[in-house]
């Protein structure tokens, strides 16, 4: 009996314990950004005191089983402050925590996103891709900053010549001049020619908070829109927490990088300061492309009160690097002949004393400084204003010759053709050493033979390019009704570009005489003037750009429907002041004005929790660029382009999105018609008889289909992919007139004539149906990332590039100038590359640490990235650049 009672009591006890042990409930919720209410995918939700955790799905939602009783959840997401949530749950109970808003870990970041016009998934009706900081940390390595986007639909990015920061990027077939690059909403495209030198922003990867590519019309609220799309970069603001980090990285070819960051956090009197600094050095993968780069970032914030916030930001990346010119492409056969093959640099070499020289060298520093004021006017309205300044200083090397023929000889001698020779006074000079390097000693030899008569036959100058750029961007936001928001603002810019060429090396001669033709001058004294180091040659002018713009946008958001309608208008004024080719009375050109506008609208409809559709349509009329648009020869002439008109574009896009707990995908179709593109191209640019074709009526059609997806089929595995099919071609034949390098109208033999007279050579340009080159029209990518153990992740990404047509070159169309008969450019062979990355997050004492490793072009694929079409439009005559072979890097970062 007693034994039976004991068994019953033991059974009841065990049952009670089991009930306590196995009593559990379910907790769920949706994690969102507190500033934008955007759902956060991949947020980590951990049950405190255990190893149990889940991640939020494509809707930002999570659900997990937890023991009954008093519990605490820890919600984490990269770039946000950790949040603890306490709750009590009973056995069998389900608790819905609802919307869990977590706050960004940086002060003022929400206000910065107003300037940056960051698109929101399933709400903003544009095609967009986001690159989060963790992706930059895991994948960038030694790649150029634009290359991190190569797995994005519509993007084609290459290292081009391969020097530090010399990369380029195309978006939907449009070159960088037609892609708006904005940092914190401030435009970065050069005000004269529209492009971006990425070497000026080599340190951006260290301070990027968010990078978003908006393809097509985009959502940017600026007065001067882009045709191809925009790259929005949001930098760090001020860290809300006190702390910092140090890191060190190494890579191939003596790559070394050291960096630090430190932040005060928000002090008791509402001040906050964050600093970052980095130094990067290396020999460069390409022969003779040594580099030294620094980057810095400082943000000082002050919360004046609940309604006013001031933020001062300054960042820059001073650098110096040897280059391989973009004109140093060789034919495929020539690459097989040169020493070092694809690493070969034809401008790299030594003089007779063994001292290294480079005829392609770049030094530049372009800091951006801004003061931002954020004013919360009332519960419905706010005003965000940014006053900014960019001060650019630097130069790149440029060879000079006694005459135009000698200048041409300079470029011919420094090209990659082995055993480049030059005949002068019946003497042959060979500029190639046995090992294929450029023999600068031969220039000394040539100059010494002519020093007593004409001075230096060849000399080196530095093309000094400075600018002073001031701007004001202000956006007023208000809620008109519960469903309608209104944005309106102004965009003012003033730019002065200062361009000179200064002699830096006479290569053994005692002086240099610049006999470059300057017919605008009445005096010919300059033809005998003996110049020395520091004197100005070839050019000395200032280019001015002034732009005033306004923009407005209304947004409607109710239930499942989001829509917007926006308008902008701008007036752009160009003029130049030339101290070299003109006397003082004629130094100032006329001022020319172009009025531009844009009108665009779109809508997104969320059919249900899984499906959404969107569309947008817009028209853009934009001022032609200063260089090669408003001015025919902006380097050498004040003569304006008599036929310059606004470039126009009409774009329409349709898109579909799908999200589930396992997969999210986006499909979009676009069509952009580009009309009246300004196109000024040199014919036989290195020839003394070089002419310029100013083309009119150049129209193009860019259309295509894009698909991208992210899948999480099992826990800890993420698969990404995309396919982009483009159809980009020039639509119709065009026409144009010929001009000389001073911008004067000529006949077909280069004789100056009256503008658009019978003698003025008008040429036909048979370009209709020709493929737009310089960018792969078919791209695809597939990637996988898996967390093997807690904190250790590894992944591999494959990229495919196809239907990549060579860049057409007018000098390759034949000697017959009328008409200019273009043929379909040579198509570069398809290419496939793979990149590997791995990272491990762990503790060193009380400090968080991360080690990252990257191997790019894992299988050392041999492939062509860039090509210029040849006279026969085939692989035998086209000149190319090859992509880098296998490269690697690794870094360690410790946070404190």
Q: What HEC string does 83-106 produce?
A: EEEEEEECCCCEEEEEEEEECECE
pLDDT, average across residues 869-895: 95
Is residue 815 predicted with pLDDT exceeding 70?
A: no
* Domain assignment of residue 66, yes or no: yes
Mean pLDDT (whole number) for 550-555: 94
pLDDT bin (cut points 50, 70, 90) of residue 18 is: very low
Residue 867 contacts residue 806 (beta carbons within 8 Å): yes
pLDDT at 6 (0 to 100): 54
The reported pLDDT for the residue numbered 158 is: 96
* Tokens describing residue 691: 């002419």
Residue ranges of E strands in 77-222 = 83-89, 94-102, 106-107, 127-131, 155-158, 168-171, 179-183, 186-187, 208-215
Neighbour tally for 486: CB within 10 Å? 16
Residues 444, 508 contacting (CB under 8 angstroms): yes
pLDDT of residue 757: 87
CB count in 10 Å sphere of residue 74: 15
pLDDT for 15? 45
Classify residue 76: in a domain, yes or no: yes
Residue 56: per-residue pLDDT: 86
Q: Is the pLDDT of residue 14 over 50?
A: no
Nearest-angstrom CA–CA distance, 780 and 834: 12
Q: Is residue 48 part of a domain?
A: yes
The C-alpha R_g of the chain, in whole angstroms, comes to: 30
Q: What is the DSSP string of 800-822?
A: EEEEEEPBP-GGGS-S--SSEE-
Backbone angles phi, psi at 179, to 5 degrees: -120, 120
Measured CA to CA, the distance from residue 254 to residue 284 in angstroms comes to: 8
What's the burial of 210, exposed, middle or buried (CB within 10 Å: 0-12/13-18/19+)?
A: buried
Q: Which residue's entry shows tokens 């306490």?
A: 86
In this predicted structure, the answer to whether residue 12 has a pLDDT above a threshold of 70 is no
Does 876 have pLDDT greater than 60? Answer: yes
In a domain, 68, yes or no: yes
How much is the mean pLDDT over the chain? 88
pLDDT of amino acid 523: 62
- Report the DSSP beta bridge partners of residue 467: 392, 497
pLDDT tens per residue across span 476-521: 999 999 999 999 999 999 999 999 999 999 999 999 998 766 655 5
Instruction: Answer whether 441's CB lies under 8 Å from 352's CB.
Output: yes
| Distances in whole angstroms, Cα of residue 565 to Cα of each of 488, 600, 668 | 12, 6, 20
DSSP 585: G
Specify the DSSP class assigned to residue 476.
E
What is the model's pLDDT at position 238? 66
Average pLDDT on 85-90 reads 92
Contacts of 811 (CB under 8 A, 6+ apart): 682, 683, 684, 685
Chain-centroid distance of CA 312 in Å reads 24
Q: What is the largest CA-CA distance in the chain?
A: 130
Task: Yes or no: say if 476 and 487 are a contact pair by the CB < 8 Å rule.
Answer: yes
Q: Are 691 and 632 in contact (CB under 8 A)?
A: no
C-alpha to C-alpha distance for 461 and 764, rounded to whole angstroms: 37
Arithmetic mean of pLDDT, 393-413: 80
Question: Is pLDDT above 80 for 417?
Answer: no
Question: What does the pLDDT read at residue 330?
Answer: 93
Residue 807 lies in a domain: no
Q: What is the pLDDT of residues 256-314, one digit of tens each?
A: 999 999 999 888 898 989 899 999 999 999 999 999 999 999 999 998 998 999 999 99
* Tens-digit pLDDT profile for residues 165-192: 999 999 999 999 999 998 888 888 999 9
Is the confidence at residue 22, as pLDDT, over 80?
Answer: no
- Residues 301 and 372: their CA atoms lie apart, in Å, by 9
DSSP-derived 3-state class of residue 149: helix
Task: Look at residue 434 and tell me if it is in a domain.
Answer: no
Q: Which residue has the tokens 């970069």?
A: 233
Average pLDDT over residues 127-134: 88
Model confidence at 625: pLDDT above 90: yes
Residue 242 has what pLDDT? 87
**Residue 802: what pLDDT?**
98
**Contact at 8 Å (CB) between 790 and 840?**
no
Domain CATH number, residue 40: 2.60.40.10
Which residues, including other chains, have CB under 8 Å from residue 789's CB and lie 6 or more apart? none
473 pLDDT above the threshold of 70: yes
pLDDT band of 419, cuts 50, 70, 90: low
What pLDDT is recorded for position 414?
A: 64
Least confident among 139-143, 394-398, 862-866:
139-143
Give the single-character DSSP code of 631: B
The H or E element that residue 332 is part of is helix 332-337
Bigger pLDDT: 373 or 523? 373
Q: What is the mean predicted confidence (pLDDT) over 93-97?
A: 92
Give dist(CA 149, CA 58) in Å, integer: 22
Nearest to 564 by CA among 521, 615, 522: 615
Q: Tokens 């690159």 identify what position?
A: 131
Residue range 40-65: average pLDDT?
84
For residue 438, pLDDT beyond 70: yes
The answer to whether residue 62 sits within a structural domain is yes
pLDDT digits (tens, 9 = 90+) for 190-200: 999 999 999 88
Cα–Cα distances (Å) from 588 to 639, 831, 872, in that order, read: 11, 50, 44
Question: Pairing state of beta strands 879-882 and 864-868?
Answer: antiparallel
pLDDT at residue 187, as a whole number: 85
pLDDT tens track for 733-747: 988 888 887 788 888
pLDDT of residue 20: 45
- CB contact set of 499 (below 8 Å; sequence gap of 6+): 463, 464, 465, 466, 539, 540, 541, 542, 543, 635
Question: Is residue 46 in a domain?
Answer: yes
pLDDT at 632: 82
Peptide bond into 819 cis (omega under 30): yes
For the chain, how many structural domains are there in total?
1
Q: What single DSSP character describes residue 582? A: S
User: Residue 74 is part of which domain span?
Assistant: 22-102
633-689 confidence digits (pLDDT tens): 888 889 898 889 999 999 999 999 999 989 999 999 999 999 998 777 777 655 556
For tokens 């056995």, what's the residue?
91
Percent of the chain scoring above 90 in pLDDT: 60
Count of CB atoms situated within 10 Å of the CB of 13: 10
pLDDT at 19: 46
% of the chain residues with pLDDT over 70: 91
Q: What is the pLDDT of residues 325-381, one digit of tens each?
A: 888 899 999 999 898 899 999 989 999 999 998 889 999 999 999 999 999 999 999
């Amino acid at each position: 009996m007693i034994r039976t009672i004991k068994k019953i009591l033991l059974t009841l006890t065990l049952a009670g314990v089991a009930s306590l042990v196995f009593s559990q409930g379910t907790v769920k919720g949706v994690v969102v950004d507190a500033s934008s209410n955007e759902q956060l995918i991949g947020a980590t939700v951990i049950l405190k005191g255990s190893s149990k955790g889940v991640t939020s799905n494509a809707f930002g939602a999570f659900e997990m089983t937890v023991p009954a009783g008093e519990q605490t959840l820890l919600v984490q997401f990269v770039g946000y402050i950790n949040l603890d949530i306490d709750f009590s749950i009973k056995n069998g109970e389900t608790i819905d925590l609802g919307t869990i808003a977590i706050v960004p870990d940086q002060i003022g970041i929400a206000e910065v996103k107003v300037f940056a016009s960051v698109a929101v998934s399933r709400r903003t009706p544009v095609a967009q891709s986001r690159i989060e900081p963790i992706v930059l940390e895991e994948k960038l390595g030694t790649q150029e900053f634009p290359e991190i986007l190569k797995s994005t639909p519509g993007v084609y990015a290459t290292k081009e010549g391969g020097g530090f920061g010399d990369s380029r990027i195309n978006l939907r077939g449009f070159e960088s001049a037609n892609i708006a690059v904005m940092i914190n909403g401030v435009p970065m495209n050069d005000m004269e020619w529209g492009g971006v030198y990425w070497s000026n922003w080599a340190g951006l990867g260290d301070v990027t908070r968010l990078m978003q590519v908006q393809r097509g019309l985009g959502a940017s609220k600026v007065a001067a829109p882009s045709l191809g799309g925009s790259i929005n970069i949001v930098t760090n603001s001020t860290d809300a927490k006190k702390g910092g980090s140090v890191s060190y990285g190494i890579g191939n070819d003596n790559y070394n990088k050291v960096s630090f960051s430190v932040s005060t956090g928000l002090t008791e009197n509402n001040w906050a300061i964050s600093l970052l600094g980095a130094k990067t050095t290396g020999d460069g993968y390409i022969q003779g492309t040594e580099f030294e780069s620094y980057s810095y970032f400082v943000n000082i914030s002050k919360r004046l009160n609940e309604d006013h916030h001031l933020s001062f930001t300054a960042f820059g990346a001073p650098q110096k690097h040897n280059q391989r010119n973009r004109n140093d492409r060789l034919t495929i056969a020539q690459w097989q002949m040169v020493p070092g093959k694809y690493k070969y640099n034809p401008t790299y070499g030594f003089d007779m004393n063994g001292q290294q020289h480079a005829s392609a060298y770049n030094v530049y520093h372009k800091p951006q400084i801004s003061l931002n004021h954020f004013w919360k006017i009332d519960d419905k309205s706010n005003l965000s204003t940014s006053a900014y300044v960019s001060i650019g200083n630097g130069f790149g090397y440029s060879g000079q010759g006694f005459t135009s023929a000698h200048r041409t000889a300079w470029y011919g001698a420094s090209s990659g053709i082995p055993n480049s020779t030059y005949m002068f006074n019946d003497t042959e000079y060979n500029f190639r050493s046995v090992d294929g390097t450029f023999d600068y000693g031969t220039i000394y030899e040539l100059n010494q033979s002519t020093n007593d008569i004409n001075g230096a036959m060849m000399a080196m100058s530095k093309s000094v390019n400075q600018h002073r750029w001031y701007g004001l961007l202000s956006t007023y936001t208000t809620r008109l009704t519960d469903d309608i928001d209104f944005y309106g603002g102004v965009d003012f810019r003033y730019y002065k570009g200062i361009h000179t060429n200064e002699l830096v090396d006479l290569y053994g001669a005692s002086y240099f005489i610049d006999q470059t033709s300057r017919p605008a001058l009445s005096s010919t004294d300059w033809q005998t003037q003996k110049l020395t180091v520091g004197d100005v040659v070839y050019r000395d002018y200032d280019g001015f750009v002034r732009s005033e713009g306004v923009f407005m946008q209304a947004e409607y958001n109710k239930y499942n429907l989001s829509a917007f309608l926006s308008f902008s208008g701008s007036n752009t004024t160009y003029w130049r002041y030339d101290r070299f080719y003109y006397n003082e009375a004629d130094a100032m050109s006329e001022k020319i004005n172009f009025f531009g506008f844009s009108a665009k609208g779109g809508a997104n409809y969320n059919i249900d929790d899984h499906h959404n559709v969107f569309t947008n349509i817009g028209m853009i009329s934009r001022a032609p660029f200063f260089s090669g648009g408003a001015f025919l020869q902006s380097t050498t002439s004040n003569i304006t382009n008599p036929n310059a008109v606004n470039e126009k574009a009409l774009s329409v896009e349709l898109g579909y999105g799908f999200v589930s707990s396992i997969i999210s995908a986006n499909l979009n179709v676009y069509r952009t018609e580009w009309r009246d593109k300004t196109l000024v191209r040199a014919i036989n640019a290195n020839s003394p008889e070089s002419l310029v074709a100013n083309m009119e009526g150049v129209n193009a059609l860019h259309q295509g289909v894009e698909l991208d997806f992210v899948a999480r089929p099992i826990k800890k595995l993420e698969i990404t992919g995309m396919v982009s099919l483009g159809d980009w071609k020039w639509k119709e034949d065009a026409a144009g007139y010929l001009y000389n390098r001073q911008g004067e109208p000529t006949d077909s033999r280069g004789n100056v004539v009256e503008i658009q007279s019978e003698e003025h050579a008008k040429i036909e340009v048979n370009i209709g149906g020709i493929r737009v080159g310089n960018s792969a029209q078919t791209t695809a990518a597939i990637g996988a990332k898996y967390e093997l153990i807690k904190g250790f992740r590894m992944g591999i990404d494959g990229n495919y590039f196809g239907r990549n047509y060579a860049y057409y070159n007018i000098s390759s169309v034949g000697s017959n100038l009328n008409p200019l008969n273009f043929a379909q450019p040579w198509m570069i062979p398809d290419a496939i590359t793979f990149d590997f990355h791995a990272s491990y997050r762990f503790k060193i004492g009380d400090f968080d640490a991360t080690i990252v490793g990257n191997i790019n072009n894992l299988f050392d694929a041999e492939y062509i990235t860039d090509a210029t079409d040849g006279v026969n439009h085939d692989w035998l005559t086209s000149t190319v650049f090859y992509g880098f072979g296998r490269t690697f890097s690794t870094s360690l970062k410790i946070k404190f």
